[in-house]
């Protein structure tokens, strides 16, 4: 371990302070795609948990959702409805029948465009649900850097406690690792006390090797979370990509002692898939990563399916989707 690594471990603040860019560490990582895909199939091929155990896992999944609306036709009214759902994610009668009405079941955050941060903060007033803002020219990340950094600062000033930034994919594809590192460091500085979630847009990075290297660079640059996708790419979160990223999180923890969060996003719309991701986190990283401080699922329609599954647990019947609208 280098002296720089030893210094970080000895300080050990609550947040990841990052490391100097170590390209030897970054470039040493090569992913065995066949082995990763085999492991992913083992996760997706398992039977789901049932009955009260399923209900318990689904309630845990709700607490790890970043409840999200990132549509081109978003309005203040839609954001307020989303926030109302965040404050009461499951019908009270279902919680009562599950005997969990005294538990604080709420999503990890509400995620919106910068324009709607103030609306969301106002609608969530009195709760401790944080607002996350997508910034830095989401979803492409190609606006001038000064504009992207300014957007981060304005989102934080408006009340966002978490910032989801996007990287420039071409920096990965052309192996401009120092430029990628520098960009994320500046974004972290612009965040101040707000937590930084770095979106890698993994569906556009070409290889799992690139995913692994971009993950490590983001953590070295000070990311609090690494995230798969914007939800706008043709390929979003997948289990092979997720396994690659969480194993880099494990490696970073081995190097520094710091725990970095993970957020898959895009395409996780049903309870069964959400449980696969929870199982992956438990088996690959341990129970500490089953908390919203270290694991989030970026989703919109997922909560609707989870609520339907919970109603089935207590009644034996599935509600129609229109009976449990999200927004």
Which residues does the chain have with pLDDT short of 70? 1-13, 47, 321-327
Reduced to 3 states (helix: H, G, I; strand: E, B; else coil), residue 262 is strand
**Amino acid 30: pLDDT:** 95
Q: In this structure, what DSSP letter does residue 130 have?
A: P
Phi/psi at 196 (nearest 5 deg)? -105, 120
In this prediction, residue 12 carries a pLDDT of 39
DSSP string, 142-168: -S-HHHHHHHHHHHHHTT-SEEEEE--
Vertex 131 angle, CA 125 and 135, to 5°:
145
Going by C-alpha positions, the residue among 57, 9, 36 that lies closest to residue 247 is 36
- Omega within 30 of 0 (cis) for the link into 308: no
Q: What pLDDT was estimated at residue 13?
A: 47
Structure tokens at 280: 């992956």
The partner residues of 56 in beta bridges, in order of sequence, read none
Ramachandran category for residue 18: left, alpha or beta (phi over 0 → left; psi -120 to 50 → alpha): left
CB 154 within 8 A of CB 114: yes
CA–CA gap between residue 62 and residue 57 (Å, rounded)? 9
Sheet holding 162-166, edge to edge: 261-263, 225-227, 195-199, 162-166, 131-135, 109-113, 65-68, 297-299
Active-site residue list: 164, 227, 263
> What's the pLDDT at 8?
38
Give dist(CA 289, CA 281) in Å, integer: 6
pLDDT for 326: 65
pLDDT at position 132, please? 98
CA atoms within 13 A on the CB side of 179: 11
Q: What is the pLDDT of residues 193-204, one digit of tens each?
A: 999 999 999 999
**Euclidean distance between CA atoms 143 and 89, whole angstroms:** 35
Nearest to 87 by CA among 118, 143, 128: 128
Rounded (10°) CA dihedral 313, 314, 320, 322: -110
The predicted structure's pLDDT at residue 324 = 66
What domains lie within the chain, and their CATH numbers? 20-323 (3.20.20.70)
> Tokens 């304005």 belong to which residue?
154
- CA geometry: angle at 49 spanning 44 and 50, to 5°? 140
Q: In the chain, count H helices and then E strands.
A: 14, 8
What does the pLDDT look like over 118-159, one tens digit per residue? 999 999 999 999 999 998 899 999 999 999 999 999 999 999
- Alpha-carbon distances, residue 286 vs 217, 278, 295 (angstroms): 23, 10, 11
Number of other CB atoms surrounding residue 36 within 10 Å = 19
Q: Are 9 and 257 in contact (CB under 8 A)?
A: yes
The per-residue pLDDT for 168 is 96
> Quick one: pLDDT at residue 5?
41
Q: What is the pLDDT of residue 44?
A: 81
């Amino acid at each position: 371990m280098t002296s720089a690594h030893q210094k970080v471990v000895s300080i050990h603040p609550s947040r990841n302070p990052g490391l100097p860019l170590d390209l030897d560490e970054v470039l040493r990582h090569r992913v065995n795609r066949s082995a990763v895909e085999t492991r992913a199939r083992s996760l997706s091929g398992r039977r789901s948990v049932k009955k009260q155990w399923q209900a318990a896992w689904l309630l845990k999944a709700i607490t790890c959702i970043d409840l999200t609306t990132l549509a081109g036709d978003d309005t203040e009214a839609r954001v307020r409805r989303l926030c109302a759902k965040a404050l009461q994610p499951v019908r009270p009668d279902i919680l009562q029948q599950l005997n969990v009405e005294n538990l604080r079941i709420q999503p990890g955050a509400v995620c919106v465009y910068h324009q709607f941060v103030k609306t969301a903060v106002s609608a969530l007033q009195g709760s401790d649900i944080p607002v996350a803002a997508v910034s830095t020219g989401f979803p492409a990340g190609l606006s001038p850097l000064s504009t992207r950094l300014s957007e981060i600062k304005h989102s934080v000033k408006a009340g966002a406690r978490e910032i989801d930034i996007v990287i420039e994919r071409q920096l990965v594809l052309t192996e401009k690792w120092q430029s990628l590192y520098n960009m994320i460091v500046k974004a972290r500085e612009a965040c101040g006390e707000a937590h930084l979630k770095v979106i890698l847009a993994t569906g556009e990075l070409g290889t799992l090797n690139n995913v692994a290297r971009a993950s490590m660079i983001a953590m070295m640059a000070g990311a609090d979370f690494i995230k798969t996708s914007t939800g706008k790419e043709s390929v979003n979160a997948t289990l092979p990509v997720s396994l690659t990223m969480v194993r880099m999180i494990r490696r970073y923890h081995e190097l520094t002692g710091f725990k970095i969060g993970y957020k898959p996003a895009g395409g996780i719309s049903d309870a069964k898939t959400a449980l696969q991701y929870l199982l992956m986190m438990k088996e690959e990283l341990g129970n500490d990563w089953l908390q919203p401080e270290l694991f989030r699922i970026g989703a919109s329609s997922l909560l609707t399916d989870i609520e339907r599954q919970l109603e089935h647990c207590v009644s034996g019947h599935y509600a129609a989707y229109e009976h449990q609208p999200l927004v």
